[in-house]
Every structure is written in C-alpha cells, then in structure tokens.
C-alpha cells in the first residue's frame, strides 16, 4: 500500500482558479475581506497576508498611499509583484514586522499543526493588542453532526461540477494528513481569546471572521 502524500499546492497549474472552484462562493469572501482590509489599512501601517500563495489577494486590493503590503508564504508560487513578498515561516516573519494594521489569514491556519498554530496565534494576538485587526477564514466541522454531513454532501456535489470523483477523493486523502480543521466551537473559543469576534461570511462549512481588540 502506498503512503499518502500531502496535497502539493505547487502542482496546481492555476492555483487561484483551483481554489475558486474548490470553495463555494469564494468570490464573495474575497470581496468582503478586500473591502474590510481596505477600510482598516492606514498610511504608516502594514497589511500582511499570511500564506499569500500567488499574491492575488494583495495584488487586487485597492492600495492606501504609504501603507506597506506584505505577503508571506513558505512556498514560492508568487505571480504578482506589487507587494513585498517574503518566502519563509509565517510566524517568524510576522514577529519581525512592526506597525501591523491588518492581518489576513485565508485558509492558512488550518494547515498548521497544533503547536505551530498556537505559536502563531500568540504572535497574532500581540499585534491585535497593539491595534491590528485580523481577517480569518477557515473550513470547520459544523457542531451539529447531521448538518455537517448534509453540508459535506452538498459540497462534494458542487465540486463534481468541476472535478472528477478521483480528483476529489485523492485531494481529500491528501488533505487528511496536512489540514487540521477545528469545530465551530473550537474556532470561536480560539478567536475569542484574541479579541472581539464578528462573523462576516459563511458558505457551507467555510466561515469568515473579523477580529479586533
């Protein structure tokens, strides 16, 4: 029996298209997060995208004069150049940044193991305590198991419009060893420790929140 390998983001020919087809109403999340990020980005501050992948979000974001835009990712699949791109550990690089005003985490934290996630959360909290806001989106397990099963089934049906059954199953198997989803309750408890939490988006069992001190 072959060992299951983690999902390899680098092998996606069009990563942004792949994500858009994989997450229902991803464009809605993108619009909401873009408007909030613009609203809270200020001159003299830094807006940072954790796990920025191609950099599409920062590239499309309406920029504020004299605001610095930084994208951080461990892998280099950058496709755009109108922001500062850092290839490295997100927590370590976030620690080095000053005057952070906005932190974006779109489906990034769920790929961290528990120890690394908690370490990253502590760093994010330091920035929030200093005035930053957090935009975070995650795939979760719905608390109600019946609804979780229903939404999962609906999501699989939606993905079948764009992917073969083999592609869906293979990706699920690969993500099972590299993505660590939390329940709704677990995520809310975690975010509440950072600050005041406001839900801003939901599609199936994908949730988006705004967090501030």
What's the average model confidence in pLDDT over 64-69? 96
User: What DSSP line would sit under 75-88, residue for residue?
Assistant: S------SSEEEES
pTM: 0.91
Percent of the chain with pLDDT over 70: 94
Model confidence pLDDT, tens digit, residues 187-210: 999 999 999 999 999 999 999 999
Instruction: Report the distance separating Cα 95 and Cα 156, nearest Å.
Output: 38
Do 106 and 29 meet the contact criterion of CB atoms below 8 Å apart?
Answer: yes
pLDDT at 5: 63
Beta-strand relationship, 68-73 and 133-141 = unpaired
**CATH architecture entry for 29-212:** 3-Layer(aba) Sandwich (3.40)
Render pLDDT for 25-54 as a digit per residue (tens, 0 to 9): 999 999 999 999 999 999 999 999 999 999
Provide the residue ranges of all domains of the chain, joining segments of one domain with +.
Answer: 29-212
Whole-number pLDDT of residue 73: 96
pLDDT (tens digit per residue) in 87-122: 999 999 999 999 999 999 999 999 999 999 999 999
Q: In angstroms, rounded to a whole number, what is the distance separating the alpha carbons of residues 22 and 16?
A: 10
């Amino acid at each position: 029996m072959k060992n299951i390998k983690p999902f390899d983001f680098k092998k996606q020919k069009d990563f942004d298209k792949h994500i858009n087809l994989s997450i229902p109403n991803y464009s809605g999340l993108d619009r909401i997060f873009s408007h909030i990020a613009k609203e809270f980005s200020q001159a003299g501050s830094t807006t940072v995208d954790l796990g920025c992948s191609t950099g599409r979000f920062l590239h499309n974001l309406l920029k504020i004069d004299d605001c610095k835009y930084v994208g951080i990712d461990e892998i280099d699949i950058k496709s755009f150049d109108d922001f500062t791109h850092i290839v490295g550990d997100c927590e370590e690089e976030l620690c080095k940044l000053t005057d952070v005003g906005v932190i974006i985490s779109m489906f990034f934290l769920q790929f961290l193991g528990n120890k690394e996630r908690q370490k990253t959360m502590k760093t994010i909290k330091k920035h929030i305590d200093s005035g930053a806001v957090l935009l975070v989106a995650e795939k979760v397990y719905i608390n109600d198991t019946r609804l979780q099963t229903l939404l999962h089934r609906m999501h699989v049906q939606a993905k079948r419009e764009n992917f073969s059954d083999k592609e869906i199953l293979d990706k699920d198997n690969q993500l099972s060893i590299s993505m660590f989803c939390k329940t709704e309750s677990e995520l809310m408890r975690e975010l509440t420790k950072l600050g005041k939490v406001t839900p801003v988006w939901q599609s199936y069992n994908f949730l988006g929140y705004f967090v501030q001190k």
